[in-house]
A and B are shown apart, each in its own frame.
Chain A
């Protein structure tokens, strides 16, 4: 299949499907923005994937079954989202050029810095030895039509279960998406398609934070976005910080966790736990926690840690035990997977 068709399919599966399916998880009373839909859609996609892939790993189901199940379910969710948008008759289509024409010059500056970064991560390559597992596991899954049965390192069956990774199978997400995009090589998907898509999501998340913090001040929102983009660009002072992970290896689960999911959980937690009237549903926070588990084993620990700190702050502010219990309920995916991890470790 031609490269252009595969690129078009990538646009559908990585932008259109998340955006449309995200509509389903936003409050119905308000008009959702495209950015909100995209971010919510990714939370849905990641959490649904985690829910599907874990039993399939256990029952040694072939990869193509997972591709079909995930494709059908997300496709149906996207159609349902489109149907809801049409029914509500208030879809807010993105008018990027219109926004830029009527907005602060600082938004233009932010737009150019972000566009420059998107171009860099798309055109250039960064060699990271961690790809030996994180990308090779995706290429191996596609090559052998298996899910974590064949070692990414050797290409031969695993002698022992890779318990560190099976609960956070983001490389399999890479394999599934590459299959949905007409069989695009997972390495191309990882190194050329994922970085700009996820980087766009990162700045969407930053923009949401800016809208929350500087409500009704578009100039300040633009300055905040611009400064954040600049700070990320100059983050090469250490290879450990979030900005560096964001700019150089945004195809690995841990980088997506650090750059996108944790800031998104920060935004959601402050909008749900610390607001008198939660702006999003608690279930969305629950799904965000499940999503972080898919991305990296670190997510199983770090996401609940963040939610618990917000729960503590919420308890101090509202003196509401119910709110803290809801927040703890959002950590159930992490708690469950943590227990499964300990169980697997004890039997191996």
Chain B
């Protein structure tokens, strides 16, 4: 991907499927035509122009690529005061009608709210929020898995708990209970050793080889494995000394029997 394409892609990512960039354009044009003599307007528009130049100009973009990386170049647009500029323009417009009628101002404000709603997407309907039954606000199934592992480890007086699981599970398990250790981190952010790396790789495919996962997890000294496994394939884990200690949602939680830990 060329630098220009990367800049374009970053722009597209930032604005997504909304119309805020057109609101920004309209706001800028309005401010330039009607309020360009105001000092605050000149300041914010001059800053925005400079920032956009830095963002779009390939040479400056290249320098920033070197500093922050190409994949997160869209973050430069965090500096663009898009929302303040849109609000500024709308407020200036509403100020100009205030002297005529308060009612007209209120109706126009409602009209602007409608435009904003149509141009974007609200946070609730985008599915951003959910409710949990645990105070740590991690997914409930993961909280249950963590509680189950913790209880078993206490019961068996285990000194160390090493868990292998899929990317979703290991993203939240240590947020909830940091006493649990993991063979690897999310997206392989960190991996204990090569054996753990092999376990991680086996978790990735949709069609998993459960026999191989059990074998590799045992070789990597994982005393707990949390995985979605069909009922008829549970014996793959039992053959390697893992016993199922429970189910949570789609997950089955397996524990390596202490006496099986040293057997091949």
A residues apposed to B, CB below 8 Å: 106, 120, 123-127, 129, 131-133, 135-136, 139-140, 142-144, 151-156, 158-159, 185, 187-188, 191-192, 206, 209, 212-214, 217, 219-220, 223-224, 226-228, 230-244, 247-248, 254, 257-258, 262-263, 266, 270, 274, 297-298, 301-302, 305-306, 309-310, 312-313, 338
Q: Is the CB of B79 within 8 A of A132?
A: no
Question: What residue in chain A is nearest B129 (Cβ atoms)?
Answer: A124
- Return chain B residues, CB-CB under 8 Å to A248: 123, 128-129
A-B contact pairs, 5 of them (CB 8 A): A125-B131, A132-B189, A151-B190, A236-B128, A241-B20
Choose from A124, A244, A305, A338 the contact partner of B79 (Cβ within 8 Å). A305
Asked if B1 lies at the interface with its beta carbon under 8 angstroms from chain A, I say no
Asked if B34 lies at the interface with its beta carbon under 8 angstroms from chain A, I say no
- Return chain B residues, CB-CB under 8 Å to A126: 128-130
Known: A155-B180, A213-B88, A236-B123. 11 other contacts (CB 8 A): A139-B175, A152-B174, A153-B190, A155-B179, A192-B135, A234-B122, A236-B126, A248-B129, A266-B47, A270-B47, A310-B47
| Distance from B143 Cβ to chain A, minimum over Cβ atoms (Å) | 10
How far is A23 from B76 in the complex, measured between Cα atoms in Å? 32
| Distance from B119 Cβ to chain A, minimum over Cβ atoms (Å) | 7
How far is A119 from B3 in the complex, measured between Cα atoms in Å? 42
Q: Is the CB of A139 within 8 A of B43?
A: no
Q: Is the CB of B43 within 8 A of A132?
A: no
Q: A152-B185, A227-B91, A298-B72 are in contact. Are A187 and B175 (CB under 8 A)?
A: yes
Question: What residue in chain A is nearest B67 (Cβ atoms)?
Answer: A301
Q: A136-B174, A302-B76 are in contact. Are A236 and B179 (CB under 8 A)?
A: no
| Distance from B26 Cβ to chain A, minimum over Cβ atoms (Å) | 13
Q: Is the CB of B78 within 8 A of A209?
A: no
Q: A139-B175, A154-B182 are in contact. Are A240 and B137 (CB under 8 A)?
A: no
How far is A262 from B86 in the complex, measured between Cα atoms in Å? 17
| Distance from A231 Cβ to chain B, minimum over Cβ atoms (Å) | 5
> What 3 pairs across the A-B complex have the smallest Cβ distances?
A153-B185, A238-B16, A237-B18
How far is A220 from B90 in the complex, measured between Cα atoms in Å? 10
Q: A125-B129, A240-B14 are in contact. Are A313 and B43 (CB under 8 A)?
A: yes
- Return chain B residues, CB-CB under 8 Å to A209: 84
Q: Is the CB of B83 within 8 A of A135?
A: no
- Return chain A residues, CB-CB under 8 Å to B98: 219
How far is A240 from B178 in the complex, measured between Cα atoms in Å? 29
- Return chain A residues, CB-CB under 8 Å to B116: 227, 230-231, 234
- Return chain B residues, CB-CB under 8 Å to A214: 91, 95
Q: Is the CB of A301 within 8 A of B68?
A: yes
How far is A72 from B138 in the complex, measured between Cα atoms in Å? 32
Q: Is the CB of B174 within 8 A of A155?
A: yes
- Return chain B residues, CB-CB under 8 Å to A155: 174, 178-182
Q: Is the CB of B185 within 8 A of A266?
A: no
Q: Is the CB of A120 within 8 A of B129?
A: yes
Q: Is the CB of A238 within 8 A of B15?
A: yes
How far is A169 from B160 in the complex, measured between Cα atoms in Å? 27
Choose from A144, A213, A217, A309 the contact partner of B50 (Cβ within 8 Å). A309
Q: A135-B175, A234-B120 are in contact. Are A154 and B185 (CB under 8 A)?
A: yes
Q: A155-B182, A188-B135 are in contact. Are A139 and B124 (CB under 8 A)?
A: no
| Distance from B199 Cβ to chain A, minimum over Cβ atoms (Å) | 13
Q: Is the CB of B189 within 8 A of A133?
A: yes
How far is A174 from B81 in the complex, measured between Cα atoms in Å? 28
Q: Is the CB of A185 within 8 A of B136?
A: yes
How far is A179 from B216 in the complex, measured between Cα atoms in Å? 39
Contact flags (1/0) for B124-159 with A, using CB distance below 8 Å? 111011111001111100000000000000000000
